[in-house]
Amino acid sequence: MLQKIRNLRRGVVLAALFGAAAIAQAAPFGYSVRSDTDRKLYRIDLATGFATAIGATGFSKIEGMAVGADGQLYGVNPSTAQLVRCSGATGACTAVGQLAGLPQLQTNAGLAFTTDGQLYLAMNAVIYRVDAATGATTSLGGSGPALSGLAGVTPSAICPSGLFGMGGNTDRGKFYCINVSTGAATLLGTVGVSPLDVGLDGDASTGLVWGVSNDNPGQVFAVAPETLAVSNVSTVTLAGVPIGGFESLAVAPAGQGAAGDAADAAVVPTLGVSALALMAALTALLGANTIVRRGLRHIDRSIRK
């Protein structure tokens, strides 16, 4: 009986430890450009909001960003209506091609890959299919609202395309499913964050949609599409100082970095606030475990007598 109690206690502790590890690895890296300030590409640890500057993009503004299955980073320069590819090593971006048929001087833009590898663009309340190799666009139709960001995750009953959008300006906080045949955006509800402008992308491994707000300071957050519950809210910081000005987000595949990023060779899990709280609780539990173990030894000696 005593051995069963000991085994059960060990099982609880180990399960909690593995749970903490799972939480720590749940948040991937995101990439975003501070278009409103220094125009540099940043890597953001979405578990903590900790940002690292990679380098200047060389463009006046990058509105939407997305990362392909091969780790390549793409973005949109609104003032020239160009699709660009950005280096994960230096941050420098080069033009891929003209987004044909789009007027210049755009406002908000969203860019995302779906899980089938197709690239989509939201701009001027229209959804486009984009050729990542050339920048050539095909208009699918009006979305209705002007979307600030797009995110692709695994298709589900709630959104068969797996492509989600989030509104900005007068539609801030509204969360949509995008029809990739017609471009129409179906309102799913309003989430618990409402930035004026937002960068958005999805993590296909968890189904979460991640966002970064264009506030000062900015915040990263996650949305569960099935419930619209918001979690993992963290302020974006650089060397401990809160920063803002982000208008785009590309989420790297879980456990990876963007192509060329030095962090890709040694991505390690980072404990977020939830995991740290759990580890603190485990520390207290293990301290209490010592007391319980002493009590069990006392009971054991009493039984043997």
Mean pLDDT, the chain, rounded, equals 82
User: What per-residue confidence (pLDDT) applies to 256?
Assistant: 82
User: What per-residue confidence (pLDDT) applies to 301?
Assistant: 55
Q: Residue 199: in which H helix or E strand, if any?
A: strand 198-203
Helices (H), the chain: 2-26, 273-304
Distances (CA, A) of 4 to 8, 46, 114, 155: 6, 40, 49, 44
User: What per-residue confidence (pLDDT) applies to 270?
Assistant: 40
User: What per-residue confidence (pLDDT) applies to 103?
Assistant: 66
Low-confidence ranges of the chain (pLDDT < 70): 1-26, 103-107, 264-305
User: What per-residue confidence (pLDDT) applies to 255?
Assistant: 73
Nearest Cα to Cα of residue 144 among 161, 162, 122, 120:
122
Q: What is the pLDDT of residues 30-52, one digit of tens each?
A: 999 998 889 999 999 999 999 99
User: What per-residue confidence (pLDDT) applies to 105?
Assistant: 55
- What is the model's pTM? 0.79
Quick one: angle between helices 2-26 and 273-304, nearest 10?
A: 170
User: What per-residue confidence (pLDDT) applies to 79?
Assistant: 81
Q: What is the pLDDT of residues 123-151, one digit of tens each?
A: 889 999 999 999 999 999 999 998 999 99
User: What per-residue confidence (pLDDT) applies to 3?
Assistant: 52
